[in-house]
Amino acid sequence: MNTDNDTLHAPTPSSMMPAGRHDSELFRVYALILDGITDHVLLPGKKLTESELCRQMVCSRNTVRGALSLLAHDKIVDLQPNRGAFVHVPDLKEMQDVFNARIEMESMILNLLSDMPDLETRLQPLYAMIEREEQASDSGDRVGWNRLSNAFHVELARLIDNNVLFDIMNTLCARSSLIVAVFDAQRHEKRTINTHTHSEHREILDLLVNGKRNRVVKVMRKHLSACVERLERKYEAE
């Protein structure tokens, strides 16, 4: 399993989790598996063999089992009795539930951000992230683009300084990445890059900076709803 963590310095879902967890051997294995799944290296439905994971990650079987249990709790992996662990395969309803949850949560996040002081200064790192997202899009770097696109939404949540909200958003975005992998695989399509995301992300930041509270919420809801509609069309085409 190989995920390039240097891809345009794009943050993985695990790298954005609380720093205190990074020192744990259990977290190290959890992170490697999670990032392999969200980078679409470990594809939906793939069996995750304990012995193979132990060999690749140089760790004990107990550590692998613990990591798989945590991933099952986060709905990233399925543990099936007498069969083992498999990368989770979301269905249409789960896709709709995850993205509808994101629509409501991210609308709330934008409203909270609109009331924060020095918002333009706080948003500068996200403008830089959008620049890297555009570079990834232009160069055809699917992994880097996927990481940066998800990280944009997670980093908006980080600015609220609410650890619970941040953890929920990180998990929802990881599940969103898995969902995209599933629906692309169902159509047997080569995964393509949505070249519009970085411009839409920049519009969201510009509206926040200019105090357009109602408009920015509408743009975010449209941005996420378009993902739902695209995935629904793929499902219906099966």
| CA distance between the termini of the chain | 30
pLDDT at 9: 62
Buried/exposed code over 120-141 (b: 16+ C-beta within 10 A; e: otherwise): eeebeebeebbebbbbbbeeeb
pLDDT at 140: 87
pLDDT at 192: 54
Q: Could you tell me the pTM of the whole model?
A: 0.86
% of the chain with per-residue pLDDT over 90:
70
% of the chain with per-residue pLDDT over 70:
89
Average pLDDT over residues 142-161: 92
Which residue segments constitute the domains of the chain, with CATH numbers given? 13-87 (1.10.10.10), 92-237 (1.20.120.530)
Choose between 9 and 200: higher pLDDT.
200
Average pLDDT over residues 12-19: 75
* 148: pLDDT strictly greater than 90: yes
Choose between 8 and 179: higher pLDDT.
179
